[in-house]
Structure 1
Amino acid sequence: MLDQLADALSIGESRALVLHGEPGVGKSALLDYLAGRAFECRVVRAVGVQQEMELAYAGLHQVCVSMLDNMDRLPVPQRDALRTAFGMSGGPAPDRFLVGLAVLGLLSDAADDRPLLCLIDDEQWLDRVSAQILSFVARRLAAEPVALIFAARTPTGDLEGLPELALQPLSDADARDLLNDVLAERVDARVKNQIIAEARGNPLALVELPRALTSHQMAGGFGLPGAIQLPRSAEESIQRQFEVLPSPTRRLLVLAAADPTGDPALVWRAASHLGIGADAAVSAQEAGICEFASRVRFRHPLVRSAAYQSASLERRRQAHRALAEATDDQLDPDRMAWHRAHAAQGPDEDVAAELERSAGRAQARGGLAAAAAFLERATMLTSAADKRVDRALAAAWMKVQAGEGNGAADLLSTAEVGPLDDAQRARVELVRAQLAFVTSRGSDAPPLLLKAARRLKPVDPGLSRETYLEAFSAALFAGRLAVGADVLEVANAAATAPPSVGATRAPDLLLDGLAAHYNQGYPNCVPVLRGALESFGTGMTTETELRWLWLASIAAIHIWDDQRWDALSARHVQLARANGALSELPLALSSRVFLLLFSGDLAAGAALVEESEVAIDATGNNLAPYGRLGLAAMRGSDAEVSALTATTVRDVTVRGEGIGVTVAGWANALLNNGHGDYAKAVTAAQRATEYSGDITSSTWATVELIEGSVRAGMMETAVDALGRLTEMTSASDSDWARGVAARSHALLSQGEAAEHFYGEAVDRLDRTSVRTELARAHLLYGEWLRRQHRRIDARVQLNSACTMFEAMGMDAFAQRARRELQATGQTARKRSLASPTTELTAQEAQIARLARDGLSNPEIGARLFISARTVQYHLSKVFTKLGINSRSRLDGALPSASDPQGLPAV
């Protein structure tokens, strides 16, 4: 397998592989073999070190350090993110996926001259953020001659899904062959048999176990085989080898094992603090245990581990104390603090404070897991009860942010031992609520957030209001599946929130407006939410804006403000991209997709759906495929809507994400109204509107319910739904609201009243950006005119509807319009979809669109989480399929941005 991998890499193909198995099974030996086999490649190596797991980006730095001279060739956001991550410059904490894109670009660039082979040993001991980023890069390799090979005892979850090779113990026959190869002297057959039995097929054990026996024992002159006391593992065997070394040598090996950097200057400075001379290295090198040259290198990771574990606790503390004294506190303050922490014999406030500062630096570099580890150790070294609680809470919060739920729960338990004051108790509740929201997508988060908000009221009114607003977000996601408190209960509790402090901010108005909607009725919320949207962004930091933009977009939809929705959703995507907030990007793209769908730009919506799915795949975000579901419903794709509905409802039910049930109901109602299957549309719309706490998609479903009910003859249902809709649209008074209301009134009206309402609907909706609603108004008006036997007038409206639907790609509604035109006596022909661009794959079409729109290869790569080299690879295929030879010709070869015809369904 490794030979094939090396051959593939040598001809420019990318590869990723995970070798895993028990310690000593041969992982490191196979990495060495591959390095020798790939003689035409540039080889970069990194090793996870258990003592270095708390230092953010330590493993990643090993991989990238030889390539940093080329960092200036990266796009600016990626370069800045990587520099911040490595502590080379200051700046806001970088998103780890933006750092991942930077590393992908760095590796791709390094492979320009010859293929690049990256070997990462002991992956299970990499710091968390390095493991995440390297696994991210491994999944995004495409057209780069780069291979990432990981070796691990038990791979972390970050590597799940990558190709793997499980290494098994040797058979008895192979074990005997290996033992015969490594034995340098005659061995009693009974001893040999026992070594093979004890080794259990582990190659390293077969090599190391004989070293633990004396010549006398090897010859068998010590009695029966049962009397042999062989070590139970290779690591124990190695530890026995240390027992025969001089004391200074053993102390030097502990020192070298405690330093994960392999810096000989640092090790010798520390050795001088302990009075260890240079001759102490001789015995270690003669025994083949460790070499002291340009780097301090143990012959095997297990040897390093054994050297450290063989020492007493006090000897290890001495080693760490000496390393701390030898470390420059200006150049490497975090490593110095780390060594001091391991040298501490008990609580030590000075060291704890240093660790706290290290956590701050780690957080600034985006190393949330590292920051949590520093704070957790600081907690262990803190004796003062109040400081211990504060540090435990800070560590728990960092673990929540880093996605380490179990560790966060343990630290919360530590904090709760207390004693706690009111502010600390409130913070415990807040972190517990945040943990619930992150792990269950909100099903039981609302009541926990409410509890935290109430506790925060007397101690931090501003944070209390923010927590109430977070409870709204959680409750809107949880919807009908909320456990303990739904959005109605959140609104009731939010009415008691403390008043805003100082100048009223947009988030304050969002909170007041949402509470007013549920507590006082829709008309009372409109002016407050309108004020929130008018002031949104003013005086807000980027972080704050990103935090509330999704909720602001929801508010814009709720008050029927299509222009604000357009601006806010575009801003959300722009900020997420520009600031590398890639974890936020799927939600931002989802909001923007629906704006584009209602605007009738299904082609642009499809492109963002693909980008969103790439982001979800790359970041591990578990957002349901709402954009894909809405797109399929607009297109009238029965099979796709059916499949997406089944998976969406199943998944969101497990997570407690009730909003997904509502979105699925709306999508099916829209789909069936398009096909003219009105009974099914009514059933789906009723399912979407049955929970009164939902907003946005349930309002859209109300509109579908009115149309479906009228066509199905369920007039009472339609009248009831129209009453609910009219209460909202009258208070909103926007052209979008009034237009949809007029169209709905027309369905329930007769004669001149119906014509008046249809005319008003077309007129008002023509002033908006929601072109799908306008096209549907033309369709319904034309259908009504035909039934009034006004065929000429009907053709005008139906032709407008048909043209718009076909241009948008709304096939079901277009077919419905064509049927009506045929009923007027006019022949309606479907536009041909034949085009050379249908030969493009989905990814090629997406890259072609972005290139046509003027994005550079690095910019396209950043959007799609691939390297610039991969973008160029796909563009070359696009040029061949389209029969062109440059980017400048894409504009003529591809349909316009507003016309989806000719591009493959994506």
Structure 2
Amino acid sequence: MTPSTTVPGTLRPPELHGRREEIAAVDALVGRLRTGRGGVLVLTAPPGLGRTALVEHARDTCAPGIPSVQLTVPTALPRQGPLLVCVDDAHTWPSAARSALLADLRLLPAERPVAVLLTLAEHRAGSGELSGLATLHLGPLDDSAAAALLDRLTCGSADPVVAAWLIREAAGNPRLLRALVAALTPGQLAGRTPLPDPLPGGEDLLDDYAARIAVLPADARALLLLAAAAGEHEPDGAGADLALLVRAGAAPSGLAPAEAAGVVVGAGGRVHFTHPLLRRAVLRRAPLARRRAAHARLAAVCRDPLSCLVQLACAAGDHDAPLAGALAAAATEPRPHAERSAALARAAALTADTTLRTDRLAAAAEASRLAGDPVRARALLARTAGAPAHGGVHRVRGLLSLADGPAADAREELLTAALLLPPEPARHALIGAAEAAWAMGDAAAYREAMARVPACADDPPLEAYRAGMCAVLAGRTAEGHAQLRRCLEDLPATSDPAGLLRAGAAALVVGEVETACGAGARALAAVRAYGPEVLLPRALEHLAYGELRAGRHTRARAHALEGLRAAHRIGQPNVAVSLHAVLALAASVEGDADACAAHAAAAAAGAGPHGLTQAATLAVWAVARADLAAGRPGDAAARLAPLVAPGPRRGHFAVRMLAVPCFVEAAVQAGRTAEARSATAEFARWADVTVDGLAPAQLARCRALLAPPQQTAAAYESALALHDRSPGEFERARTQLLFGQWLRRRRRTREARDPLRDALVGFERCGARAWADRSRGELRAAGEAVAGEPGPGPLAVLTPQQQRIARHVAEGATNREVAVRLSVSHRTVDHHLRNVFAALGVRSRVELSRLLAGDGGLPDRDEEIAAHL
């Protein structure tokens, strides 16, 4: 054979998803040819990850006049260029020929216009074969790249559940993903027909992996088959127990050659395959009789009853009712949920009766959901397609939608489930439907679902919670609070995470914020110790929100960030939306406007499609509070007005009153006094029936903002006295800031300094930087130098009030905005600004901004943003 030479044509290979770094490296190699230079790039990867596709991309990107040559047999490198030399699958060459080629490549001078792209199967680290050569290892595609490839392969027609399972099964291997798609019917891809188990397709790829095992000694192959079979009863990634393999007849001497070939790694008495497709190849490519014999041998020596039953199920050839029954009976607590799910799925596969099979699939899906594996849970539910309506299927589907789907869909699924289920599981389905209605902000739907929950005589805390929430949302507040407090009476004896989370929610409704935080902390500890994994993001969300209500914003942010990572890992985007809203609120206190905007945008993006009104309301409140911190009360009032006022666009019923003090402050400063009075009146009615420690002080502050001048000082002093009896450093500092602003505006500057100084200290303790900056500005305007601040620089010739106006104008504020921020008239700002221009010798706002920026009087936004990262 001779080398084949090609000149690039007009056809381009298909788009390579998830290979940006690799494409850049290949393009750089080809680009060197255009400058008369050459180079070498080696691509290594296991089979199916796209080595050949990158070679085709390289040949396609060659400029006209730069040919490419494909070396398919051992031969000397061409001496003339410019030329791209492609050597695909060099691992198939004889060892001596490959070594000679690699030696030549090390000596290839960079000034020779010959570029060599060489690919070979994954080599063992430390072998030295590729030393001295630029090498790039191709890893598996991430889920987003695999999803993009699948969307292209199916023209977007794949059912989301089917797509998620195909991506999981392909393990990031694009060639396998193509094979799996090609092996399914249109009905299976669209989710109309259940998927086969196991999925067909990819046999030729598995043959490539199996080829690494075929050359091993017989005792190594026998050990690997038993290790692969043992993996059927082990958790993912746990490997196989070497002692079990030996009891089943494996020779210990078989481990060394398998390790030397890079197929497995032995550690801690367990055998781990180096790639999941290697284990799959061993099982799928072994003759059926040998595979069943391996499972039977393992079953005979397994000391764990459930593991023995799983191995017997793998060895079974058809439906087996007794074995299926035994598996289902063994899949109970305290077994981990993932193990229970696997056993129940095996039992379902051995079950001929359609109804019983659906029961077991629904139970397996619920166990996967509790294990934090929604992809597997949905795939198991998909196997029930075509079966009669089943309450368990609807319940699990609804709970999955509650974590990752429109809340309205979750509610309907759970209501349907309640009609089909026996009383006990129906009760929990109805509670789930109520949770969906709560997330939607639909108080009537929440009451409807909870009213349908049968009386829970056997569970007094749950019954107290049900009755209390129904009474509160029906307007019988005193009765409801009494019931909810009964729910809290049993809190010390409660260890169930779900019960603790309900108790925390009840505590927030009655205003006992510290109790809610304690319940959230205990729920988190219980989930971490005992599970279920599915509750971890929710427990962190409850705790973060409670800490936010308690004014511990830094701790709230830490727990919310951990919860966000857990929600993404477990697949709970709806919980992630709520956590983004919590993080936006924390950032609005800390003064990180960029973080607040980013988290609020993320919350809004997810809340809209899924109808999550509570998260959306919290996000808007966060942005409005950031507007207030930045001195934009008009913007804050405009954002909050629809949420706190009656009407179709009102915010979530559990959040509206919490946002009212913020709205009243913004509305008064923006001149929307009538709306502020109306909101304060409603807030007063709410404060009368809650034990929220902050509500009385916040109400007094609202009244101070609306009081006539002769009563304002006394009203603020009353509010501060109430703050002394309640927690909340941040809210107290806000009241002190407003009081100091009012005193300074009345020209009582000496009196204003004490509350302004206290506000500054309070904000600094909370880490509320933007609010602290406002306090410093007010102190400067009141004639007091603030410790640690830079000097006025070119503004030294100005009065304190002129300095403040100059800084605001230089930052881009209009005269009217400056007037609102400083609580002065528009004419006052006009007058002072003319004097500022004259004193500084500038003629425009632009010149003023440049003057202050050059002196360091204005913040550098790039540095400020970088400091927040």
For this structure pair, what is the TM-score category when the shorter chain's length is used for normalisation? 0.5 to 0.7
CA contact (8 A) 1:337 1:355 kept: yes
Q: Which residue, 418, 426, 446 being the options, matches 1:453? A: 418
Alignment partner, residue 663 of structure 1:
618
Deviation at 1:695, TM superposition (A): 4.1
C-alpha spacing 1:500/1:738, structure 2 compared with 1 (3 Å): same
Q: Measured at CA, do residues 600 and 470 of structure 1 come closer, stay the same or move farther in structure 2, by a change above 3 Å?
A: same
- Which residue of the partner structure matches residue 474 of structure 2? 519
Q: Counterparts of 1:792 and 1:250 in 2: how far apart (Å)?
A: 89
Q: Where do 1:578-589 residues align within 5 Å? A: 584-589=535-540
Tell me which residue corresponds to 1:474.
436
Unaligned runs of 5+ in 2: 1-20, 22-42, 52-88, 93-118, 130-136, 143-165, 177-202, 232-238, 792-865
* Equivalent residues in 2 for 1:401-412, closer than 5 Å: 401-402=370-371, 405=374, 408-409=377-378, 411-412=380-381
Match of 1:490 among 423, 439, 446: 446
* 2:124 equivalent in structure 1: 33
Question: CA 1:548/1:758 → structure 2, altered by over 3 Å: closer, same or farther?
Answer: farther
In structure 2, which of residues 363, 379, 400 is the aligned counterpart of residue 435 of structure 1? 400
Tell me if structure 2 keeps the 8 A contact 1:674–1:816.
yes
**Length, aligned pairs only:** 607
Cα offset for 1:667?
0.7
Matched-pair contact (CA < 8 Å) for 1:271–1:322 = no
Give the conservation status (yes or no) of the 8 Å contact 1:372–1:396.
yes
The verdict on how the C-alpha distance between 1:21 and 1:832 changes in structure 2, with shifts beyond 3 A counting, is farther
Cross-structure match for 1:396 = 365
- Deviation, 1:730, is 0.8
Amino acid at match of 2:450: A
After superposition, the C-alpha distances for 1:220-276 in whole angstroms (9 at most, x for unaligned) are xxxxxxxxxxx988949999x99xxx9xx999999898666999998899799xxxx
Counterparts of 1:223-622 in structure 2 under 5 Å?
235=207, 315=289, 319=293, 322-323=296-297, 327-329=300-302, 331-357=303-329, 359-360=331-332, 364-366=334-336, 368=338, 370-384=339-353, 387-402=356-371, 405=374, 408-409=377-378, 411-412=380-381, 425-440=390-405, 442-456=407-421, 459-461=422-424, 463-479=425-441, 486-502=442-458, 504-505=460-461, 507-520=462-475, 522=477, 524-532=479-487, 534-540=488-494, 542=495, 544=496, 546-577=497-528, 584-597=535-548, 599-605=550-556, 607-608=558-559, 611-612=562-563, 622=573
Q: Which residue of 2 aligns with 1:43?
A: none
Q: TM-score, normalised by structure 2?
A: 0.58
Task: Indicate if the aligned counterparts of 2:210 and 2:285 stay in contact, CA closer than 8 A.
Answer: no
1:827 corresponds in structure 2 to 784
Q: Is the 8 A contact 2:362 2:380 kept in 1?
A: yes
Normalising by the residue count of structure 1, what TM-score does the alignment of the two structures yield?
A: 0.56
Name the counterpart of 1:626: 581
1:804 aligned residue (748, 759, 762):
762
How many Å apart are 1:394 and its aligned residue?
A: 1.0
Going from structure 1 to structure 2, the CA distance change for 1:595 and 1:761 (only over 3 Å counts) comes to farther
Alpha carbons 1:488, 1:693 under 8 Å: kept: no
Distance, in Å, in 2 between the alignment partners of 1:703 and 1:674 is 14
Partner of 2:55: none
Q: Call closer, same or farther: CA 1:257–1:581 in 2, change over 3 Å.
A: closer
Conserved 8 A contact 1:443-1:657: no
Task: State the shift of 1:521 in Å.
Answer: 5.3
Return the alpha-carbon distance in structure 2 between the equivalents of residues 306 and 159 of structure 1.
13
Structure 1 residue 494, shift from structure 2 partner: 1.8
Match of 1:22 among 45, 48, 53: 48
Residues 359 and 807 from structure 1, CA distance in 2 versus in 1: closer, same or farther, beyond 3 angstroms?
same
Tell me, what secondary structure is at the counterpart of 2:641?
helix
Letter in 2 for 1:429: H
Contact kept in structure 1, 2:44 and 2:121, CA below 8 Å: no
Task: Decide whether aligned partners of structure 1 residues 399 and 235 sit closer, same or farther in structure 2, where only a CA change above 3 A counts.
Answer: same
Q: Distance in 2 between matches of 1:465 and 1:346?
A: 37
8 Å Cα contact 2:501/2:523 also seen in 1: yes
Give the distance between the partners of 1:790 and 1:762, measured in 2 at CA. 18
1:644 alignment partner in structure 2: 599
* Pairwise CA distance, 1:547: 1.9
Instruction: Please state how far the C-alpha of 1:758 moved relative to its aligned partner.
Output: 2.5
Distance 1:616 1:452, change over 3 A: closer
Q: Does 1:679 align with 2:634?
A: yes
| Whole-angstrom CA distance in 2 between matches of 1:789 and 1:300 | 76
State the match for 1:741 in structure 2: 699
Residue 669 (structure 2) aligns with = 711
The SS at the match of 2:694 is helix
Q: Over aligned residues, Cα RMSD in angstroms?
A: 5.3
Q: Please report how far the alpha carbon of residue 799 of structure 1 lies from its aligned counterpart in structure 2 after TM superposition.
A: 2.5
Shift in Å at residue 793 of structure 1?
3.7
Structure 1 residues 639-681: Cα deviation after superposition (integer angstroms, max 9, x where no partner): 3323332233223334443333211111112112223311101
Aligned-partner residue type, residue 638 of structure 2: T
Could you tell me which amino acid in structure 1 is paired with residue 301 of structure 2? D
- Shift in Å at residue 354 of structure 1? 3.2
Aligned mates of 2:359, 2:349 — CA distance in 1:
12
Are 2:704 and 2:712, in contact at CA under 8 Å, matched by a contact in 1? yes
1:184-223 to 2 correspondences below 5 Å:
none
Residues in 1 aligned to 2:444 and 2:623: alpha-carbon distance in whole angstroms? 26
Q: Which has the higher contact order (CA 8 A, sep 6+)?
A: 1
Q: Which amino acid aligns with 1:341?
A: A
CA 549–296 in structure 1, closer or farther in 2 if over 3 Å, else same: closer
* Counterpart Cα distance in 1 of 2:691 and 2:204: 80
Which amino acid letter does the alignment assign opposite residue 553 of structure 1? G
State how 1:84-123 maps to structure 2 within 5 Å.
none
Farther off after superposition, 672-681 or 729-738: 729-738
- Amino acid of the structure 2 residue aligned with 1:645: A
CA distance in 2, matches of 1:296, 1:597: 47
| Deviation at residue 740 of structure 1 after TM alignment | 1.3
Contact kept? 2:374, 2:400, Cα under 8 Å: yes
Corresponding residue number in structure 2 for 1:773: 731
